[in-house]
A and B are shown apart, each in its own frame.
Chain A
């Protein structure tokens, strides 16, 4: 990078992944990044997290795949993607024309398959992999690994054993105790945690008297889930030794800062990309305004401030 963006005031280092701003993009909400080039400068996004990628192409779910809900939306895309081969051959070279870290969200149907995808993507140009153990919309894999601590740990170990990249594990909120899940993936060697994936929901068409979505259930995202996500980040930040990428309904800089005060070292914008396709870049300006208003030099200095004992509550910041 020629010159630090925003005088480095928004720069963060997430387990070795250096980002010019703390803002990455929620997997599945930003395509492969290239779809948004007309609206923003990809090099002013902290990192681009691409759509969930599997070993082989996947067609996703049949029937209606999305429906708006109060201040949110449900989706059951089912991880449709062109597969790792296509990604490496066609998408990555295009994305690599931009000086921006690339995080590839990966999923498989078994720990071995997760390992295989990780190995395949252990190439130049990929900066980190994010393990999707929490997609609620695929029958095998996804949520199975996302709700059982032992299964989650097994997936993380399989990925870690097959990649030299920084590994992020994305947690599901659809569990009884997320701290147990967080500790399990930390123990298994994840370098960072991203949270939260979507919350399970259903909408029924009362005239057709049937669920709207082809998959019956879908994942709830958007501002409706934000307080849930902030609460979960607040809990996990006090329990783990790895950095957290916080997400869930962030619409603007205010929301992003809320996550960071709760202990997230970086954030991810998701559903809002659909509404404001330039947000992954423009949200930085609001963050700088906040830093000025509170007379803080670096965004890193606000991480965890809202925790019970402030930053002292975070094992990660006090290693």
Chain B
């Protein structure tokens, strides 16, 4: 499956909450190929600052329309520039990159937090409406505003917040052991902050449930060349960009 440098045309942007936006672009060469878990590398402007492309997980595709979406938080220089692009603007996007999720689960449980909920959205769509359950965690109600997306996509939606402003008070670990013990799920897919992913991976190991983690590491190229995003595997080095970003939890020794 060849990677391409696409000149993507911006279809439009939507606001998810005060800091998170959803960007839809037209780039059929990527939209037609992208699989859940894969990412794209976006050049936000043609200047030398910001210099590097920025990686974003694909959050969904519309093959008929030739479009795909990414969901991002406006946090730094590059995402501020991205937040200002308008319908009709062009962006150079390299993709699709990396290896995606294993799609063989019978009853998948998705677990996510923060922007990790973006690639999981595409995964939920990949399995089909109502096929997945999702457990999402955030610090506050605003951080779990993704329920508006997952209510339509997933079957059961479980929510935890650190401050108890929505769902169960605590982290996803407040609910996960019970969900795993139910024996309903044959595979857990987690994408979020590293402490969350480690805790979920450990809980799955204990419960003997398969678990895939989607890692995020600072990367320059996304192509397996720069080795910025290397991590430790069993007896070998792994590249998050090309060996991952999705790994079986037990493959990752040094996160």
Interface of A toward B, CB cutoff 8 Å:
28-31, 35-36, 38-39, 51, 59-60, 64-68, 70-73, 75, 77, 80, 82, 222-224, 251, 271, 273-278
Contacts and interface: CB of A to CB of B under 8 A. Distances in A.
Given A73-B51, A277-B5, A277-B94, A60 B227 contact: yes
A155 B150 CA distance: 61
Given A72-B51, A222-B51, A39 B5 contact: yes
A59 B236 CA distance: 9
28 contacts: A28-B227, A29-B221, A31-B223, A31-B224, A31-B225, A35-B223, A38-B2, A38-B3, A39-B3, A64-B218, A65-B229, A65-B230, A66-B218, A66-B219, A67-B218, A68-B50, A75-B226, A77-B226, A77-B228, A77-B230, A80-B227, A80-B237, A82-B237, A222-B51, A274-B225, A275-B52, A277-B5, A278-B5
Nearest to B43: A275
Contacts of A224: 48
Among A36, A65, A251, the one with the most B-chain Cβ atoms within 10 Å of its Cβ is: A65
A51 B2 CA distance: 23
A287 to B, nearest CB: 20
Nearest to B3: A38
B184 to A, nearest CB: 38
A223 B46 CA distance: 13
B51 A68 contact: yes
Contact of B225 (A30, A68, A276): A30
Nearest to B254: A62
A30 B237 CA distance: 18
Closest 3 CB pairs of A and B: A31-B225, A66-B228, A274-B221
A28 B221 CA distance: 11
Contacts of B222: 274
Nearest to A81: B227
A71 B51 CA distance: 6
Contacts of B121: none
